[in-house]
């Protein structure tokens, strides 16, 4: 996730671009840049670090010109640096691009362009687009861009400008968001409405597979294959704070709703045809996966809960023992981590002090270290031998939602890769899993479609002071995360445990009306978990079951049922967590809490 901007009009472009980028910094902030056409040539300024560095550069040495493009970056390919910052240009410096998203076939394109003599200035996937547009250019930027994107595969948004046609900008949307703002004699382009809402409230949303040709006379929209598109303008009435949160009252709710898009990005370019998976920064030595004798998973908090899902998935598919350890415990143990093992450290930020310490320990003991993380260039990613970036984009709410979701999806990808290399997963089983993974963005969308039902349920929940979440196997892992979400933002006392454990003590706390959420997606243990539900029901608890749409039994047992779309049991944690995130959110909202910044907590825990 990055932020992109464009401007054509009568005013100086650079300050407008920087101002818009500042409002898009929530999409990434590891480097920033602009390219402005001064009428004769393109002037590019870019710098690693926060946008303020670029702004200082431009203050010290301003650039004139009334058309330009800008970018604030969240690194995916290539670490944050001056040379990886956007805009990228072709070798002549006449064409500049900014890009948000991923070009799946960039390696093949780089090889092809390299064979024709192209030299690249960055490690990004984006730079190939500048070369492609230049190669296709014969005097018409729109047509050159159209032909260039026909050669690129992926999920992205792209904005292109050229000194050969000053005052013209072309932009394309391939899944990643893009909007056009129409002002009085000026046109704005942006990844998101908040960047330009203070400039104009007349917004045209570019749809997937569309290209837009922008000049000072307006914006012409077409499908990528050239059919003209008429699009009604939206009149946006949000205030500035609402706009920043995409119209949602809190970042947490916005991020819950971003999960289908985030998962699309996690999967982009990684699922190949049939049963193959490509993890671009995982390079196990030959024979490693086959000889692997143990996997250690270490993390904290929500990331640890993602690790509990991984344990079930890895043990089930790879038939290898998996140990999940809290990083703050592992670092002070004398763990039997041996060479030949794999340690998977999971961390959204890649900066959690305990997780880093456990990762260093694992490396010292000769284990291969794989990081599942969201932040490119984080300390964890620089320490690891192998990397799986989750690509959730910046997460602002302290309570993690989309980062957790993309960790889950990353783990399935890893299981596939290891399973194929290890010979533990035959082609048919892998193909089945690949097919399931492809459905996940839609499945999450469907789960989000039940938001109103969860909101009503939350009203009945908000007056309680205690809650319990139970489940077995993968359902237990989900119960742990659902319970943590509830605690951290609603401040309700909540406990999660394996469904069979309740009767060994905690059942004493269940009294009339105590809410007990029972996660019931695992066919193999369904009947056993129903028994646990009956046990709490017998103590007059308020039983809330989370079950598949096609479960016709459950309504006979539970007081309330939260429904999720049917998926293979192995993938159930993905839809299951969505209503539990929403439940925690609406309980906290009903209790009037500061949802995005809950008391006593911090987004990244960089101290012991």
Residues forming contacts to ligand F6R in the complex (CB under 6 A) are 300-303, 347-349, 352, 355, 399-400, 488, 604-605
CA distance 116 to 131: 11
386-389 sheet: strands from edge to edge: 322-326, 295-299, 342-347, 368-373, 386-389
Which residue from 348, 345, 347 is spatially nearest to 325, judged by alpha carbons?
A: 345
**Which of 204/303 has CB closer to ligand F6R?**
303
Q: How far is the CB of 481 from ligand F6R (least distance, A)?
A: 8
**Which of 118/369 has CB closer to ligand F6R?**
369
User: What residue spans of 463-596 are helical by DSSP H?
Assistant: 474-490, 526-537, 573-590
Which residues on adjacent β-strands are paired with residue 32?
A: 47, 72
**Which of 266/347 has CB closer to ligand F6R?**
347
Q: How far is the CB of 356 from ligand F6R (least distance, A)?
A: 9
Q: Are 161 and 42 in contact (CB under 8 A)?
A: yes
**Which of 301/579 has CB closer to ligand F6R?**
301
**Which of 261/400 has CB closer to ligand F6R?**
400
Instruction: Name the helix (H) or strand (E) containing 582.
Output: helix 573-590
Angle between the N-to-C axes of helices 402-422 and 301-318, in degrees from 0 to 180, rounded to the nearest 10 = 20
CA distance 294 to 300: 20
User: What residue spans of 185-292 are helical by DSSP H?
Assistant: 240-244, 251-257, 259-267, 288-291
DSSP assignments along 398-413, one per residue: SS-SHHHHHHHHHHHH
| Alpha carbon 314 to its chain's center | 22
DSSP single-letter state for residue 153: -
Instruction: Name the helix (H) or strand (E) containing 189.
Output: strand 187-190
Instruction: Name the helix (H) or strand (E) containing 573.
Output: helix 573-590
Q: How far is the CB of 418 from ligand F6R (least distance, A)?
A: 22
Instruction: Name the helix (H) or strand (E) containing 311.
Output: helix 301-318
CA distance 290 to 108: 29
CA distance 397 to 534: 36
Question: 3-state DSSP call for residue 307?
Answer: helix
Q: How far is the CB of 350 from ligand F6R (least distance, A)?
A: 7
Q: How far is the CB of 461 from ligand F6R (least distance, A)?
A: 19
Q: How far is the CB of 229 from ligand F6R (least distance, A)?
A: 41
**Which of 250/557 has CB closer to ligand F6R?**
250
The answer, yes or no, to whether the previous bond of 308 is cis (omega within 30 of 0) is no
Which residue from 280, 298, 305, 304 is spatially nearest to 376, judged by alpha carbons?
A: 280
Which residue from 388, 356, 384, 358 is spatially nearest to 374, judged by alpha carbons?
A: 388
What residue ranges in 285-420 does DSSP mark as E strands? Answer: 295-299, 322-326, 342-347, 368-373, 386-389
**Which of 84/298 has CB closer to ligand F6R?**
298
CA distance 171 to 163: 16
Of the candidates 50, 153, 363, 603, the residue annotated as catalytic is 603
Q: How far is the CB of 381 from ligand F6R (least distance, A)?
A: 12
**Which of 109/325 has CB closer to ligand F6R?**
325
CA distance 263 to 445: 11
**Which of 134/392 has CB closer to ligand F6R?**
392
Of the candidates 2, 110, 254, 402, the residue annotated as catalytic is 2
Pairing of strands 466-471, 493-498: parallel
**Which of 205/605 has CB closer to ligand F6R?**
605
603 is catalytic: yes
Q: How far is the CB of 395 from ligand F6R (least distance, A)?
A: 8
Q: How far is the CB of 304 from ligand F6R (least distance, A)?
A: 7
Q: How far is the CB of 353 from ligand F6R (least distance, A)?
A: 9
Which residue from 294, 290, 329 is spatially nearest to 311, judged by alpha carbons?
A: 294
CA distance 148 to 172: 11
- Collect all residues with Cβ–Cβ distance below 8 Å to 225 and sequence separation of at least 6: none
CA distance 17 to 276: 41
Residue facing ligand F6R at closest CB distance: 301
**Which of 268/581 has CB closer to ligand F6R?**
581
CA distance 112 to 107: 9
DSSP single-letter state for residue 188: E
Active-site residues: which are they? 2, 603
């Amino acid at each position: 996730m990055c932020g992109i901007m464009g401007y054509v009009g009568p005013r100086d472009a650079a300050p407008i671009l920087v101002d818009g980028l500042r409002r898009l910094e929530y999409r990434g902030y590891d480097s920033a840049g602009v390219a402005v056409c001064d009428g004769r040539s393109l002037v590019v300024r870019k710098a690693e670090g926060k946008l303020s560095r670029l702004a200082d550069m431009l203050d010290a040495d301003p650039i004139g010109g009334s058309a330009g493009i800008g970018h604030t970056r969240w690194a995916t390919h290539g670490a944050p640096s001056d040379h990886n910052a956007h805009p990228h240009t072709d070798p002549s410096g006449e064409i500049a691009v900014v890009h948000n998203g991923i070009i799946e076939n960039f390696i093949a394109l780089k090889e092809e362009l390299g064979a024709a003599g192209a030299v690249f200035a960055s490690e990004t996937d984006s730079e190939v687009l500048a070369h492609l547009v230049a190669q296709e250019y014969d005097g018409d930027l729109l047509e050159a861009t159209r032909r260039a994107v026909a050669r690129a595969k992926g999920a992205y948004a792209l904005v292109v400008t050229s000194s050969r046609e000053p005052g013209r900008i072309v932009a394309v949307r391939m899944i990643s968001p893009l909007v056009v703002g129409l002002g009085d004699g000026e046109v704005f382009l942006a990844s998101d409405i908040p960047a330009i809402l203070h400039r104009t409230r007349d917004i045209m949303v570019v749809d997937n597979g569309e290209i837009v040709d922008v000049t000072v006379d307006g914006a012409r929209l077409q499908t990528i294959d050239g059919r003209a598109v008429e699009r009604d303008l939206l009149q946006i009435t949000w205030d500035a704070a609402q706009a920043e949160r995409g119209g949602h009252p809190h970042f947490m709710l916005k991020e819950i709703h971003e999960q289908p898009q985030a998962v699309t990005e996690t999967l982009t370019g990684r699922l190949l045809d049939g049963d193959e998976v490509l993890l671009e920064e995982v390079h196990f030595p030959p024979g490693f996966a086959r000889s692997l004798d143990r996997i250690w998973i270490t993390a904290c908090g929500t990331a640890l809960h993602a690790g509990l899902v991984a344990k079930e998935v890895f043990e089930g598919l790879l038939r290898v023992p998996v140990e999940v350890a809290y990083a703050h415990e592992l670092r002070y143990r004398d763990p039997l981590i041996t060479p030949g093992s794999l340690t998977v450290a999971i961390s959204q930020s890649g900066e959690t002090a305990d997780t880093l310490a456990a990762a260093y320990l694992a490396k010292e003991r000769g284990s291969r270290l794989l990081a599942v993380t969201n932040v490119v260039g984080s300390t964890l990613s620089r320490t690891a031998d192998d990397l799986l970036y989750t690509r959730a984009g910046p997460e602002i709410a302290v309570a993690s939602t989309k980062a957790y979701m993309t960790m889950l999806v990353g783990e399935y990808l890893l299981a596939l890769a290891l399973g194929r290399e290890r010979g533990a997963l035959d082609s048919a089983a892998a193909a089945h899993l690949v097919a399931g993974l492809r459905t996940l963005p839609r499945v999450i969308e469907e789960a989000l479609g039940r938001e109103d039902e969860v909101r009503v349920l939350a009203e009945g929940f908000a007056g309680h002071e205690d809650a319990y979440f139970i489940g077995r196997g993968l359902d237990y892992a989900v119960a742990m995360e659902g319970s943590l979400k509830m605690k951290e933002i609603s401040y309700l006392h909540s406990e999660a445990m394996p469904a069979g454990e309740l009767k060994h003590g905690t059942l004493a706390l269940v009294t009339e009306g105590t809410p007990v959420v029972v996660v019931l997606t695992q066919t193999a243990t369904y009947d056993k978990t129903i028994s646990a539900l009956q046990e709490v029901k017998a103590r007059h608890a308020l039983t809330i079951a989370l079950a598949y749409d096609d479960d016709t039994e459950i309504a006979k047992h539970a007081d309330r049922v939260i429904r999720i779309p049917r998926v293979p049991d192995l993938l159930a944690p993905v839809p299951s967590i969505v209503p539990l995130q929403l439940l925690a959110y609406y309980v906290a909202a009903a209790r009037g809490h500061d949802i995005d910044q809950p008391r006593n907590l911090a987004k990244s825990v960089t101290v012991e």
